[in-house]
Amino acid sequence: MENDYQKHALITGATSGIGYELAKLFAKDNYNLVLVARSQNNLEETKKEIEALFPKIHIHLYAADLFERGQAEMLYQKTESLGIRVDVLVNNAGQGEWGKFTNTDLQREIDIIELNVISMMVLTKLYLKDMVARNSGKILQLASSASKVPSPYLSVYAATKAFTLSLAEALSREVENTDVIITALQPGATDTDFFHKAKAENTVTYQEMELYTPEEVAKAGFDGLMKGEMTVVPGIMNKAQGMLSNFLPDQAVAANMEKKMERSTKATGNVKLPKHLASARERESINAATQDVHGDLNK
């Protein structure tokens, strides 16, 4: 009989935010982990913290930049070469870029599509084929509350999440006669480093609205996946917004989203760090790396 500790969950974007909290939940449920992120240092810190909580869990680390074409295939090949059977795939890695579409950087948004769409789709296809072949496995896709609404100032990000949601729901239907589960998680604005990476820290959403915690979003996604739910929408306000969007015309929904993503008049210019410690660490490491390349950002 297979030992519980031989199960593996592969999580991208695992060193901060929702991915970090999902890693802890899978470890608690006796899954070995394959943690994927860009920073080897942050991967090592994450490993230490999870091992301190769950010392019997074995943790594999894989530093990969999923913005780059071919990195997703290399990740799959690595787990294959190590003989790791991925029982759960969590496509958590994703970024956005704030601003009017005519003003944002083209290459940055091409990179976001590479990460949010291409790498996610490649990993899904490669691991799903294995899961269907053995008739077991689970995939959790990180969509967003923005996946069902037009989102001015985050237009490309929202479009990539619409792709993620649509793909997850379609594939869930395709595998419904198997023992494979595919779940899309649609969180609202969450206290991670997303807004910093997207240059959206001065928005109404980040400055004025209450953010969900990564812990509560991860728990909702984990529970929904284990129950076999097709979609999971954490939080009462998030659910209410989704229901309201179903009744309003798209123009009204877009206008409402625009207000949330406009610059806040209450923004002070002071740095607002995430309360979530792993996400704050992620921000600090990104800023340090940027300074190493570009010098003092305050000059």
**pLDDT band for position 265 (50/70/90)?**
confident
% the chain with pLDDT above 70: 88
pLDDT of res. 288: 75
**Residue 59 tokens, joined:** 């943790």
In the predicted model, what is the mean pLDDT of residues 124-134?
A: 98
Q: How far apart are CA 280 and CA 277, in angstroms?
A: 5
| Active-site residue flag, 157 | yes
pLDDT at residue 299 is higher than 70 = no
For the ranges 61-65, 140-144, 239-243, the lowest mean pLDDT is seen at: 239-243
Q: Does residue 222 fall inside a structural domain?
A: yes
Out of 20, 153, 157, 212, the active site residue is 157
- How distant is the alpha carbon of residue 38 from its chain centre? 14
pLDDT of res. 254: 79
Out of 24, 47, 148, 161, the active site residue is 161
- Average predicted confidence (pLDDT) for the chain: 90
**Tens digit of each residue's pLDDT (9 = 90 or more) over 191-216:** 999 999 999 999 999 999 889 999 99
pLDDT of res. 280: 86
pLDDT of res. 291: 55
pLDDT of res. 177: 96
In the predicted model, what is the mean pLDDT of residues 227-245?
A: 77
Do 157 and 115 contact (CB within 8 A), yes or no?
Answer: no
pLDDT of res. 122: 98
pLDDT at residue 1 is higher than 50 = no
Q: Is 91 or 3 the better-scoring residue by pLDDT?
A: 91
Q: Which one-letter DSSP state was computed for residue 85?
A: -
pLDDT of res. 183: 98
Q: Does residue 139 fall inside a structural domain?
A: yes
**Number of domains, the chain:** 1
Residue type, 90: V
Q: Residue 70, Cβ neighbours under 10 Å: how many?
A: 11
Q: How far apart are CA 90 and CA 120, in angstroms?
A: 9
pLDDT at residue 153 is higher than 60 = yes
Phi and psi at 182, nearest 5°, equal -125, 125
pLDDT of res. 60: 98
Predicted structure pTM score: 0.91
In the predicted model, what is the mean pLDDT of residues 134-146?
A: 97
Q: Does residue 299 fall inside a structural domain?
A: no
Nearest residue to 157 (alpha-carbon basis) of 171, 166, 144: 144
In the predicted model, what is the mean pLDDT of residues 160-183?
A: 98
Q: What is the CATH number of the domain that holds 161?
A: 3.40.50.720
Region for residue 193 given its phi and psi (left: phi exceeds 0; alpha: psi -120 to 50; beta: otherwise): alpha
**Residue 254 tokens, joined:** 């877009």
Phi and psi at 291, nearest 5°, equal -65, -35
Which strands sit side by side in the sheet containing 137-142, from one edge to the other? 59-63, 32-37, 8-12, 88-91, 137-142, 180-185, 231-232
Q: How far apart are CA 30 and CA 36, in angstroms?
A: 18
Q: Which domain holds residue 68?
A: 4-294
pLDDT of res. 4: 47
In the predicted model, what is the mean pLDDT of residues 65-69?
A: 97
pLDDT at residue 274 is higher than 90 = no
**pLDDT band for position 246 (50/70/90)?**
low
**Strand pairing of 8-12 and 137-142?**
unpaired
| Active-site residue flag, 20 | no
Q: Does residue 28 fall inside a structural domain?
A: yes
In the predicted model, what is the mean pLDDT of residues 17-40?
A: 97
